[in-house]
Amino acid sequence: MTSTEPRRGWLTPMRARSAGEQHRVATPLELFFDLCFVVAVAQAATPLHHDIAEGHVGHGLQSYLLVFFAIWWAWMNFTWFASAYDTDDDVYRITTFVQIAGALVLAAGVSSAFESGDYLGITVGYVIMRLAMVAQWLRAGRADEQRRATARIYAVGITLVQILWLTRLLLPEEWATPSFLVLVVCELLVPVLAERAPGGPTTWHAHHIAERYGLFTIIMLGEAVSAATIAIRTALDTGEQVSDLVAVAVAGLVIVFALWWLYFDRSAQGLLTSVRAGMLWGYGHYFIFAAAAAAGAGIAVKVDYDTHHAHISGVTAGYAVAVPVMVYLVFVWLLHIRPHQTGPMLFAYPAVAVLVLLAPFGPAPVVVIAGLLVALVAVNVIAGRRTPDRLESAV
């Protein structure tokens, strides 16, 4: 349903939408869904920032990646389902609200997960979101006869994995991480199996998916904007280390601007040419999203270091920014540049990623990283656009 169409009634048949639908854009409900997920993302990024600042880097990183998977996977499954089956009727809206409620329960459990390894709150919130998706898939299977097998595999697969997530809470603590990794693989396999069902894959819309991922990337980058704002506020409030904090704030904003530019410089729609390509592209965004949000946490760590509130070295503080920026660059290169770009751009991204990792060993690492990203944007503009886009030229 486009934004210009009238909303449907209480319950309408959930038939597959056309993959070639004209003017397919994100709906107000999808935007509201994303906005509510900001709470969960912020709850995950904040303890990451504090753990790194206190020197608990390994614990903070592991907890962050585990929590972020739950946030990303629930968001991703809703996004792809909505691209194929959004009816915008009353039942669909209420079911989506249940998913949002689950996201808020998950967010409330993040603190316990980081502090004591208690994943009860996160698991309950996650299961609420996923079981709401089961209800959606059952509706789709009832109305879409051609893809009924696909919908049922999704519904059964998701249900079985949620039972395993709840069972995991009963396992000994030493099994927590291995069992988590096994269940992650199970979650990732459900779409792979379902999309190969005899009735054919779901009819997700390439332009809509690219737009939805772009909007969520913006939300993740907003964490870094918030961190830069905190740096400026801290400088004004304390009157200490003003020059250092202003430099971090300005460099942080430049980093965010450059990361935005590099992601959105080319349309991703042309990359989503098949189910396999879509899955690889969609799954790979876990690292882009997680890195974008973690970059904000890294800037906050650098602010703590400059104000003498962090119990880490300057190199570690620099790496709190450098590592997520490097991961972001590598996966933007893998997903957006390598598939369709020739010439210097194939080497520019990896080269800058390596230099970013070296920046913490020098003075003013955040400023250096910002400078490197500006240089990459310049190369992207000059050399990247001069080289024909293989996908666009083939259309």
**pLDDT for the residue 390:** 43
In angstroms, the CA 111 to CA 304 distance is 20
Per-residue pLDDT of the chain in tens (395 residues, 90 and over written 9): 444 444 556 667 788 888 888 878 889 999 999 988 888 888 888 889 889 999 999 989 999 999 999 999 999 999 999 999 988 889 999 999 999 999 999 988 888 888 888 889 999 999 999 999 999 999 999 988 899 999 999 999 999 999 999 999 999 888 988 999 999 999 999 999 999 988 888 999 999 999 999 999 998 998 778 777 776 676 667 666 677 788 888 898 999 999 999 999 877 878 888 888 889 999 999 999 999 999 989 998 988 888 888 889 999 999 999 999 999 999 999 998 887 766 777 889 999 999 999 999 998 999 999 999 999 999 988 876 544 444 443 33
pLDDT of residue 11: 67
CATH 1.20.1410 domain residues, the chain: 206-394
72 vs 290: CA distance, rounded Å: 8
Check residue 188 and give its pLDDT: 95
Has domain 206-394 been given CATH number 1.20.1410?
yes
Q: How many CB atoms lie within 10 A of CB 47?
A: 21
pLDDT at 244: 78
pLDDT for res 391: 42
SS (H, E, C) the chain: CCCCCCCCCCCCCCCCCCCCCCCCCCCHHHHHHHHHHHHHHHHHHHHHHHHHHCCCHHHHHHHHHHHHHHHHHHHHHHHHHHHHHCCCCHHHHHHHHHHHHHHHHHHHCHHHHHHHCCCHHHHHHHHHHHHHHHHHHHHHHHHCCCCHHHHHHHHHHHHHHHHHHHHHCCCCHHHHHHHHHHHHHHHHHHHHHHCCCCCCCCCCCHHHHHHHHHHHHHHHHHHHHHHHHHHHHHHHHHCCCHHHHHHHHHHHHHHHHHHHHHHHCCCCHHHCCCHHHHHHHHHHHHHHHHHHHHHHHHHHHHHHHHCCCCCCCHHHHHHHHHHHHHHHHHHHHHHHHCCCCCCCHHHHHHHHHHHHHHHHHCCCHHHHHHHHHHHHHHHHHHHHCCCCCHHHHHC
